[in-house]
Amino acid sequence: MPSKHNTEYLKKTKEQLENGTAYYFTDFTGLSVHTLEALREELRKNDGKYLVLKNTIGYLAMKDMGYDEEKIKELFAGPTGIAVAFSDPLVLTKVITGLENLKIKGSFIEGQFFVADDVIRFSKIPSKEVLIGQVMGSMNMLGIFVQTLQSIIRNFLGTVDALKDKEVK
């Protein structure tokens, strides 16, 4: 029978995790307290949180939330911290991959499991704002292309009309 303290701890842990859109499991061995505090502050700025949990409590919380037992068992081996994203899941990848000694174990993004290499690849995807800017720039170029085509057609039709008028005379 679990103690009342552990039951409360598990309940609070689930409350902290349940609204997340992505969970990045890390090994924080070798990071100073100052570095971890800076990481937490940066994650808060980006609508995220960094939790250091007891492995058993973390495992039980993730299991209760419906995640794959075998995967979470692997992720909760050794010292484990979880970066939790509450909105855009990819924003936090840039933050956690930017720390030199923070080892990424894997992640769950919107319910799907990804290995550490995938998380590193995700961190290289441009931000939402940059992607929107690129699409808008492409649309602008497409508009210029359409205007050029219209001009060519207009000139062609003008030439055809001129030839027709010349032929009539």
CATH number at residue 47: 3.30.70.1730
Task: Please give the tally of structural domains in the chain.
Answer: 2
- Tell me, yes or no, whether 115 and 132 share the same domain: no
Q: What domain range is 39 assigned to?
A: 4-123
Closest CA to 18 of 80, 50, 75, 64: 64
- Tell me, yes or no, whether 82 and 162 share the same domain: no
- Tell me, yes or no, whether 84 and 151 share the same domain: no
Structure token digits, residue 123:
């961190």
- Tell me, yes or no, whether 104 and 135 share the same domain: no
3-state DSSP call for residue 88? coil
Q: CA-CA distance, 97 to 102, in Å (whole number)? A: 7
- Tell me, yes or no, whether 99 and 133 share the same domain: no
- pLDDT recorded at residue 155: 84
- Tell me, yes or no, whether 29 and 71 share the same domain: yes
**With a cut of 70, which residues of the chain have pLDDT below it?**
1, 169
- Tell me, yes or no, whether 161 and 108 share the same domain: no
- Tell me, yes or no, whether 85 and 115 share the same domain: yes
CA angle 69, 9, 15 (to 5 degrees): 70
Q: pTM for the complete prediction?
A: 0.75
- pLDDT recorded at residue 1: 59
- Tell me, yes or no, whether 85 and 146 share the same domain: no
- Tell me, yes or no, whether 36 and 114 share the same domain: yes
- pLDDT recorded at residue 141: 76
Q: CA-CA distance, 104 to 75, in Å (whole number)? A: 10
Amino acid letter, 105:
K
